[in-house]
Amino acid sequence: MGTADLARAGEGGGIPDTASGRALAAFPRLVAFDLDETLAPLKEPAPVATTSRLAWLLTLVDVCVLSGAAFEQFEWQLLRPLAAQEGLLGRLHLMPTCGTRYYRRRDGEWSLVHADELTEPERARVRAVLATSARELGLWEPVSYGERIEDRGTQVTFSALGQQAPYASKKAWDPDGRRRAALVERVRAALPGFEVRANGYTSVDVTRAGADKGQAIRRLISLLGLTRDEVLFIGDRLDPAGIDYPVYLAGVTCLPVTSWEQTVAVMDGLLDWHRDPACCPLAARFVRLAV
């Protein structure tokens, strides 16, 4: 099956064909995942179905989890449910806040390798612009579940209903994405030199310009001495407006999913492929996902 077939499969399933036009010739040496809605339901712990397959994947290749979420969310959402042998955790690369922080396992603990911190004056300015813009657009909700603006050091995140809002409320707040798009446009105009992106169902993330998942994956590829052809990325927001799209722009093979259940199917496809490299079932599995 060639890349044209993969692209056609993408068209049929509403999956962006831009993300499916590239296919790996050999089993990947690095498999990277988004977290929310890819390895786990939104803001819920990763189910055993994905963590058990992740543990298996770590026995074969390096694995990266690259998310807009903070490291604290990685801890309860992914690391606690993940039962992998200590020796294998050395192959796990954690990139929270869009890769502006990078953690590796050292001496039984997660250790920060690098962080692209925003300065305090930069963060104060971003917080002020987010609050003013949200108020001007009528997006400053009277009730919030937790902080509306979260300062993550390398990233400042606005969540319209607060970080701890119920899932159903979040999903209903901006179903067509127009509210976040208006906020992104206004904040972007006020903050040249910063990256401004919609994320999740109610959030807008601000980082320093260029600090996105594409930069993060390019850095990791270089650090590990790999080429982009040896990397596979799986994420639920590979549409051109999505937070995962810069990974596709970095030239990495990307598989779009719409839920962690689809990620399980992709991981099973990888398992089959590793067992029998000749059958290349990843392509076949992808077609099945797209139907």
Q: Report the nearest approach of Mg ion to the CB of residue 217 (Å).
A: 15
Decide if residue 212 touches Mg ion (CB under 5 A).
Answer: no
Using the contact rule CB under 5 A, the part of the chain among 35-43, 72-80, 209-217, 226-234 near Mg ion is 35-43
Q: Among residues 36 and 205, whose Cβ is nearest to Mg ion?
A: 36
Question: Per the structure block, which two tokens stand in for 109?
Answer: 């603990």
Taking CB under 5 A as the binding criterion, the range among 28-36, 185-193, 247-255, 256-264 that sits at the site for Mg ion is 28-36
Interface residue with Mg ion, options 23, 29, 30, 36 (CB under 5 A): 36
Cα gap 268→284, rounded to integer Å? 12
Based on the shown chain and the rule CB under 5 A, indicate whether residue 37 belongs to the binding site for Mg ion: yes
Residue (63 or 129) nearer to Mg ion, CB: 63
- To Mg ion, the closest distance from the beta carbon of 155 in angstroms equals 15
> Of 116 and 236, which CB lies nearer to Mg ion in the complex structure?
236
* Stretch of residues binding Mg ion (CB under 5 A), selected from 9-17, 29-37, 123-131, 178-186: 29-37
Interface stretch with Mg ion, choices 30-38, 104-112, 158-166, 259-267 (CB under 5 A): 30-38
First to last CA, the chain: 16
Query: Residue 205 interacts with Mg ion (CB under 5 A)?
Result: no
CB of 59 to Mg ion, least distance (A): 25
Q: How far is the CB of 34 from Mg ion (least distance, A)?
A: 4
Is residue 34 close enough to count as binding Mg ion by CB under 5 A? Answer: yes
Q: Which of 129, 236, 263, 285 binds Mg ion (CB under 5 A)?
A: 236
Which residues are at the interface with Mg ion (CB under 5 A)?
Answer: 34, 36-37, 236
